Amino acid sequence: MTEPIIYELSVSGRSAAHLPALDVPPSPLPPAHLLRRELDLPEVSEPDLMRHYVRLSQLNYSVDTGMYPLGSCTMKYNPKVNEDAARIPSLLNVHPLQPAETAQGNLALMYGLQQALAEIGGFAGSSLQPAAGAQGELTGILMIRAWHRARGDTRRQVILVPDSAHGTNPASTSMAGLRAVEIRSDDRGNVDLEALAPHLNDQLAGIMLTNPNTLGLFDEHVCEVCRLVHEAGGLVYGDGANLNALMGIVKPAQLGIDVMHFNLHKTFSTPHGGGGPGAGPVGAGERLVDYLPGPIAVRKEGREGDQARYTLRMPAHSIGRMKAHYGHFAVLVRAYTYMRMLGAEGLRASSEAAVLNANYLQALLRGVFPLPHDRTCMHEFVLEGRLADAPGIRALDIAKRLMDYGYHPPTNYFPLIVPEALMIEPTETESKQELDRFASALRSIAEEARREPELLHNAPISAPVRRLDEVRAARDLVLSWTRPTRPAED
Ligand SMILES: *Cc1c(COP(=O)(O)O)cnc(C)c1O
């Protein structure tokens, strides 16, 4: 980067701060040995400071700047009214340890959200504790384990995980002290019933199902799989990350799912691209509802609304807490606001539009790149990022080249069962015109791959940094600026 960074703009004595005159007695400094002689902070003016942060923010790609088709992550536009709600002072300025009697508004919101999630999922109840989807998975598997143990059934140690599942599924199983066993998919992308059969025995604790699955396909045997697992004495965990396709259309509990996490930051809109906080509430059917983590909000008296009073309680056989206090409260506020703004009809309409958008885009791209599972998709679909007549090109090259066309790359190399996978989720918040533009970018890239493959190998060309060594970038983190020691170094 050629622009000077903020440390290089520093001029001794310059300041962006305007402090009022001191109106309290000055307090003495800490002892000298606790003080640093040289605090290496930049001294800059307000405009320098402003430009520094705005410039940094512009180096990031975000869903507020363009389409972000990152499959499975549901990078939909996050309405700004959610942010206003999350900053309402009476919700925000509450201490987690203050008596429930004095935080009735917060509890009413938690109660309302628990009810709404239970209704959407078809569950008997829900808990807002888990911090993210992955922690929701751990929660659900711990609940399944506790349920078997409460019945004295300690032999059941196996959790079946389809080969299309997110990597967090087997990880959560292991963290819960159970054993993950992989089940292959059939050639239509469903759980293979033949592969399932030998595991339907008295070792089976349960199965983790993602439906629609990570191929973006509604499992054609989902009810059958749930029935078989139940008959064998197991329970069914639902990975709810793909609920964006189903809201108001199908209730996962009615398919046979006993416990499921919701990714509030995906389906119910909270910014989450930069790894910010999410929330992974868990809903449970009759069999598991008393095992939910807590505390959960309950209504003490009065009808819902002004006269109602709320309190907190641990469910009867609760597995305990998964998180300090009440989960990621500000994310809960955003999700609740989003639901109330859309209403039941609006939620259903968003899922319908998400599915329509994905099918429209799939139709535009059929024949541009190989489509291994050519079926009506749900809210996303998976292409193969390779071309028979451009053999040197990989999914990674296509993903990087998309950045030069102004798009965030789709999820790539996941799910693992599709070679060179490009997993595309447009979400409901993109217009037909934007989908047309995105499809034409991919069409141009396919042409470039044949004519000028070097363009793709060298991409991205226009991004703030070129192609990174991603392994090194993750392993060898440089998180702060250090003053160059030798000026000629770079
Ligand atoms: C995102 C995702 C998860 C994990 O959720 P986090 O909130 O990121 O922890 C699990 N399964 C699937 C299919 C996902 O897409």
Distance 133 CA to ligand 1 centre (A): 5
Whether the full predicted model's pTM is greater than 0.85, yes or no, is yes
- Binding pocket residue ranges, ligand 1, CB within 6 Å: 72, 132-134, 166, 168, 210, 214, 239, 241, 263, 278, 280
pLDDT, tens digit, 9 for 90 and up, residues 297-335? 999 977 766 789 999 999 999 999 999 999 999 999 999
Distance 241 CA to ligand 1 centre (A): 6
Helix H segments across 31-167? 46-59, 80-86, 89-92, 104-121, 133-150
Do residues 155 and 259 share a domain?
yes
Do residues 314 and 166 share a domain?
yes
Q: Is residue 390 part of a domain?
A: yes
Distance 136 CA to ligand 1 centre (A): 9
| Domain span including residue 220 | 80-340
Q: Whose CA is nearest to atom 3 of ligand 1?
A: 133
Q: Whose CA is nearest to atom 5 of ligand 1?
A: 133
Half-sphere exposure at residue 420, Cβ-oriented, CA atoms within 13 angstroms: 19
Question: Which domain-ending residue is among 292, 321, 340?
Answer: 340
Q: Is residue 69 part of a domain?
A: no
Do residues 47 and 86 share a domain?
no
Q: Is residue 470 part of a domain?
A: no
> N- to C-terminal Cα distance for the chain?
11
Looking at the DSSP assignment, which residues form a beta bridge with residue 185?
191
What contacts 24+ positions apart, CB below 8 Å, involve 194-199? Answer: 196/160, 196/225, 196/228, 197/228, 199/158, 199/160
Do residues 149 and 41 share a domain?
no
CATH number of the domain to which 116 belongs: 3.40.640.10
Q: Is residue 487 part of a domain?
A: no
Q: Is residue 429 part of a domain?
A: yes
Q: Whose CA is nearest to atom 6 of ligand 1?
A: 133
Do residues 183 and 320 share a domain?
yes
From the CB of residue 312, how many other CB atoms can be counted at a distance below 10 Å? 15
Do residues 128 and 210 share a domain?
yes
Q: Is residue 294 part of a domain?
A: yes
Distance 143 CA to ligand 1 centre (A): 19
d(CA 439, CA 431): 12
Residue 301: its H or E element: strand 296-301
If you ran DSSP here, which 8-state letter would residue 127 be given?
Answer: E
Do residues 407 and 286 share a domain?
no
Do residues 379 and 321 share a domain?
no
Question: Which domain-ending residue is among 340, 369, 402?
Answer: 340
Asked if residue 180 has pLDDT above 60, the reply is yes
**What are the CA-CA distances from residue 62 to residues 71, 139, 330, 350, 468 (Å)?**
15, 31, 20, 21, 19
Do residues 336 and 353 share a domain?
no
Q: Whose CA is nearest to atom 11 of ligand 1?
A: 166
193-230 in b/e form (b: 16+ CB < 10 A) is: eebbeebbeeebbbbbbbbbbbbbbbbebbeebbebbb
Q: Is residue 72 part of a domain?
A: no
Looking at the DSSP assignment, which residues form a beta bridge with residue 284?
125, 259
Q: Whose CA is nearest to atom 8 of ligand 1?
A: 133
Do residues 131 and 171 share a domain?
yes
Which of these, 112, 154, 144, lies nearest to 285 by C-alpha position? 144
CATH number of the domain to which 459 belongs: 3.90.1150.10
If you ran DSSP here, which 8-state letter would residue 216 be given?
Answer: S
Looking at the DSSP assignment, which residues form a beta bridge with residue 237?
208, 259
pLDDT confidence bin for 490, thresholds 50/70/90: very low
Residue 344: its H or E element: helix 329-365
Do residues 46 and 191 share a domain?
no
Q: Is residue 273 part of a domain?
A: yes
Do residues 152 and 216 share a domain?
yes
- Give the chain's domain count: 3
pLDDT, tens digit, 9 for 90 and up, residues 27-84? 999 999 999 887 778 899 999 999 999 988 888 899 999 999 999 999 999 999 999 9
Q: Which of 92-106, 303-317, 362-376 has the lowest mean pLDDT?
A: 303-317
> To test ligand 1's pocket by mutation, which of 168, 243, 265, 411 has the most ligand atoms within 8 angstroms of CB?
168
From the CB of residue 174, how many other CB atoms can be counted at a distance below 10 Å? 14
pLDDT, tens digit, 9 for 90 and up, residues 380-434? 999 999 999 999 999 999 999 999 999 999 999 999 999 999 999 999 999 999 9
